[in-house]
Amino acid sequence: MMIKIEKRNEYYEKYLTDLADHMDKPSDQADPIHVGEKIKHLRETQGMSLEELARKTGFDIKMLENIEQEKVTPPLGTMIRLSRALNTVMSSLFTQQEEKKNYSVLRVKDHRSAPLPTGRASYHSYIPLGADLSDRNMDPFIVKLNPEKSKDVVPSVHDGEELIYVIDGEVKIVIEDQVEILSIGDALYLKSTAPHIVVTNTSEPALILAVMYSK
């Protein structure tokens, strides 16, 4: 017997509320994902200076320092460029070790977020959904788009493709000179080589499922 639509909506709303709250409080988690710490470790292991990483990525040295010190949460497109410059795959930024597996399961109780910037608002936070599976081509994330600092977001450009599906809220996606407004249930697929911006379109947060493909 199927769950009545009213009850199903109640369960879904509770799930969204719990998920949004969870992503806002990564510091309360026992084992948050320290992306900046992993990026610094990979860079130093390869004997690469911040100046060299800046040349390879085109990012400002100060920005790279803030990422490594976890003063800012790097957007997913930024992490793709960083992982390529560090001669690794993006999934390695979310794991301590790469175990050879053919599938990955992530239970709700095991969701882990990247830490939010210390004492500062971030326009987004995210949970990787398949980080413990190496040698893969897709990177799926649940992303929370916060209204804070959304006006400061710069266009992202990187290799690959993206699928964006709106779980909750309203999302504005700018691709080159085109603007698309997405509501719950809407989806957009794009070539990531086109400059693009993904932000919430209201004063409230939005939740999306983002699946990124790297060739």
Q: What's the confidence (pLDDT) of residue 149? A: 65
Q: What's the confidence (pLDDT) of residue 1? A: 41
- CA–CA separation, 80 vs 213, rounded Å? 10
3-state secondary structure of 162: strand
Who wins on pLDDT, 36 or 132? Answer: 36
Q: Which fold has domain 5-213?
A: Jelly Rolls (2.60.120)
Who wins on pLDDT, 54 or 120? Answer: 54
Range list of H helices, the chain: 5-24, 35-45, 50-57, 61-68, 76-85
Q: What's the confidence (pLDDT) of residue 3? A: 43
Tokens of 148: 């804070």
- CA–CA separation, 82 vs 212, rounded Å? 15
Is the predicted pLDDT of residue 139 greater than 90, yes or no? no
The full set of domain ranges for the chain reads 5-213
Q: What's the confidence (pLDDT) of residue 30? A: 47
Residues 67, 198, 90, 157, CA torsion sign: negative
Mean pLDDT for the chain? Answer: 80
Who wins on pLDDT, 73 or 146? Answer: 146
Percent of the chain with pLDDT over 90: 35
Read off the pLDDT of each residue in 60-82 and give the average, rounded to a whole number.
Answer: 87
Is the predicted pLDDT of residue 26 greater than 60, yes or no? no
- CA–CA separation, 112 vs 108, rounded Å? 9
Tens digits of per-residue pLDDT, 144-199?
A: 898 876 677 778 888 889 999 999 999 999 999 899 999 999 999 999 999 999 99
Residue 200: band (very low, low, confident or very high) from pLDDT cuts 50, 70, 90: very high
